[in-house]
Structure 1
Amino acid sequence: MAFTTEELQGLGLTEEQVKEVFALHGKDLNAIKSDLETATQERDSLKNQLQNTEAQLETLKTDANTSSEQKEALAKLQAEYDKYKAAAAAELAKTNKVNAINLALKDTKAHNPATLMKFIDVDAIELDDNGKPQLDDVINGLKESDPYLFQAEEGNDTPNPSIVPSGNPAANGSSNADPFQAVIDGYGK
């Protein structure tokens, strides 16, 4: 979520509060960057291992000293490897899709974007050319069927009931008369 100093001050935050918000946001970003770096290093390491394994497999296939039984075993291993590679690619694509949907849900005015994910069929969502999920229909449907999941729209005229009187009680101990006591006192006269 991107925000500016002016936007935060527009919400009524003081300059000191704005600095604290940016400091907290910076901590979150640093943690995310660290996780991303770790994941990137692990991915690169696994890619290198995969390339080395593929090279060794090709070397074994072309080696003249390899028997026909070993070649059959290598072919079987290659088929299994291709199957696992395709499954891993499909899992990666699904993970990328779920992450894109989660990021898009953060831009909605939902109370808890993570909760919305339970209502979304990931397989039914299509990604556009930029890799962004097409969620407009799903979000609009959820806003109609389950409006409690979303923050109220600006200008919405739904009443907000006041359950308790506003303000603090009087310091001198006097308060409004108890309505029940007033009824009881009315019978005694």
Structure 2
Amino acid sequence: MNRDTLQKFGLSDEQVNQVMAEHGKDLEKSKAVESELEQVKQQNTELTSQITDRDKQLKDLSGKAGDDEELQSQIKALQEQNKQSKTDYEANIATLKRDGAIELALREAQAKNPKAVKALLNGDIISVDDSGVHGLKEQLEQLKESDSYLFNIEPEPKPGLKITPSGNPGGGVNAEKNIADMSLEEMTAEYQKNPALFG
């Protein structure tokens, strides 16, 4: 989106400035979300590395412990805790990725109140993987149809009223004169002659 494109749509300089200001705000929000997501990815890498190191240390310790049952028991408990921590962490990362993707999609869909729209989404069927976000686009499209007031959607321009005469072209509306070009008096006169043409 740039100023030239907006001016081609017939917007005034003031309107263009307002649209560009709003667009700038949206870009800043998107950059903030991307930055947060990047931090989460970095933390994920670091924590995954830490968990791998711990598992290796526990395995080494287990080999050194030999037959000491109490020590073996403690090691197994720590290994289980590590597995659970890793599972919980991966679940949290998946939730953060999904929430970030939803926030971004709501901005792109121009939701007036992202929190309200998010409450209407079924989060259980939304998932994020390396190939993208699944189960979100369809829900947003349905909401745009059923609850369009929740989104900043510009209505499509309605075509102008065009009435074409039917029946006998020699009688009724002057076929050479377009109704849109008639004055009110001419339209009234034509309506009085043949009201069916205007119905």
- TM-score category by the smaller chain? 0.5 to 0.7
RMSD: 3.7
5 Å matches for 1:12-161? 12-13=12-13, 17=17, 21=21, 35=36, 38-39=39-40, 41-64=42-65, 67-126=68-127, 130-150=131-151, 151-155=153-157
> What percentage of aligned pairs have identical amino acids?
28
Query: How many residues align structurally?
Result: 153
Q: TM-score, normalised by structure 1?
A: 0.59
For the residues of structure 2 that align with 1:135 and 1:66, how far apart are their CA atoms?
54
Q: Is the 8 A contact 1:127 1:134 kept in 2?
A: no
Q: With structure 2 as the length reference, what TM-score do the two structures score?
A: 0.57
3-state SS in 2 of match to 1:90? helix
- The answer (yes or no) to whether the contact 2:128–2:134 under 8 Å persists in 1 is yes
Q: What residue identity is the alignment partner of 1:96?
A: K
Query: Structure 1 CA distance, aligned partners of 2:148 and 2:27?
Result: 32
Q: Structure 1 CA distance, aligned partners of 2:142 and 2:107?
A: 17
Question: Could you tell me which of 6, 31, 36 is aligned with 2:4?
Answer: 6
Structure 1 116/92 Cα, relative in aligned 2: closer, same or farther at 3 Å?
Answer: same
- Structure 1 position 24, deviation (Å): 6.6
1:5–1:26 distance in 2 versus 1, CA, 3 Å: same
The answer on whether the counterparts of 1:100 and 1:132 sit within 8 Å (CA) in structure 2 is yes
